[in-house]
């Protein structure tokens, strides 16, 4: 199972209830759920705990995109761990000493998987992140993170990431659906998981949309691997 569903409530809805209803309808079919910073900031640990308590998937991800000194990132991670999260997303660009090194220690202590953003898909990423892409992958290796985030919308970046990281790291790829990539594109380029939001969460029948995505992922992967 290579599908993670991003739960990003539309503006104006009651976020916790919206998430719980979706999780309920998706029947724990995905490999994981990802909750973003907007919901967490709105609702705090209390609201996050309510949402997480109804999940029963392998991955329960807080997409915090942490980018601070180690002490601050650790405090935030402890807070979301209390809510039941088992995977945290931080940026690779803050580096190891004084930052991710300390975060990793706290993640290990709490049994949290650490995933690092090594590239992003928006146009502005070309200005700074592109220049230091290999350094960001180096940080993923040095820290021995559980995984890296690489955009499905730029399959060449996923391919290069896989080549450089080898098979000891998971690759999680957002950008499928509303942002333009097709289900299976990132998997074919070497990703382990595709993160999909609106294509599923805004569908009239989210569970049916989930099965459609899984079927398309399978077809695409069989085609690209020539099996």
Report the catalytic residues. Answer: 65
Where in the chain does DSSP place strands (E)? 3-7, 32-36, 59-66, 87-91, 113-117, 147-149, 170-176, 193-196
Q: How many residues does the chain have?
A: 227
Residues 95-154 that bind a second copy (CB under 8 A): 95-101, 117, 120-129, 131-132, 135-136, 138-139
Cα–Cα distance measured from residue 55 to residue 45, given in angstroms and rounded to the nearest whole number: 15
Contacts of 209 (CB under 8 A, 6+ apart): 199, 200, 203
Closest CA to 118 of 97, 146, 98: 146
Q: Which of 17, 42, 163, 215 binds a second copy (CB under 8 A)?
A: 42
Residues 168-207 within binding reach of a second copy (CB under 8 A)? none
Q: State in angstroms the smallest separation of the CB of 175 from a second copy.
A: 10
Q: Rule CB under 8 A: is residue 45 a binding residue for a second copy?
A: yes
Which one, of 168, 108, 173, lies nearest residue 140 by Cα?
Answer: 168
Residues 63-82 contacting a second copy, CB under 8 A:
64-70, 72, 75-76, 78-80
Q: Are 210 and 30 in contact (CB under 8 A)?
A: yes
Q: What gap in Å lies between CA 14 and CA 11, rounded to an integer? A: 9
Total residues binding a second copy (CB under 8 A): 54
- We find the least distance from the C-beta atom of residue 28 to a second copy, in angstroms, to be 25
215 in contact with a second copy (CB under 8 A):
no
Query: Rounded to 5 degrees, what are φ and ψ at 183?
Result: -55, 130
Closest approach, Cβ 7 to a second copy, in A, equals 13
Nearer to a second copy, 31 or 79 (CB): 79
| Closer Cβ to a second copy, 69 or 223, answer by number | 69
The owner of tokens 């989930």 is 210
User: Of the two residues 18 and 93, which places its CB atom closer to a second copy in the complex?
Assistant: 93
Distance in Å, CB of 37 to a second copy, minimum: 5
């Amino acid at each position: 199972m290579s599908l993670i569903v991003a739960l990003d409530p539309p503006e104006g809805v009651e976020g916790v209830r919206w998430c719980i209803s979706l999780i309920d309808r998706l029947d724990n079919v995905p490999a994981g759920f990802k909750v973003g910073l907007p919901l967490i900031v709105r609702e705090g640990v209390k609201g996050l705990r309510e949402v997480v308590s109804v999940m029963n998937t392998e991955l329960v991800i807080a997409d915090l995109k942490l980018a601070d000194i180690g002490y601050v990132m650790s405090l935030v991670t402890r807070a979301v761990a209390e809510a039941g999260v088992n995977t945290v997303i931080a940026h690779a660009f803050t580096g190891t000493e004084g930052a991710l090194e300390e975060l990793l220690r706290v993640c290990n202590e709490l049994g949290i998987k650490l995933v690092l953003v090594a590239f992003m898909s928006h146009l502005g990423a070309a200005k700074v992140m592109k220049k230091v892409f290999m350094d960001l992958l180096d940080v993923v290796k040095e820290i021995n993170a559980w995984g890296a985030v690489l955009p499905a919308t730029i399959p060449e970046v996923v391919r290069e990431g896989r080549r450089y990281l080898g098979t000891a790291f998971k690759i999680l790829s957002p950008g499928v659906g509303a942002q333009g990539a097709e289900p299976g594109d990132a998997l074919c380029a070497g990703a382990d998981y595709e993160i999909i939001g609106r294509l599923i969460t805004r569908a009239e029948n989210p569970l049916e949309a989930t099965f459609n995505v899984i079927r398309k992922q399978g077809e695409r992967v069989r085609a690209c691997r020539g099996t």
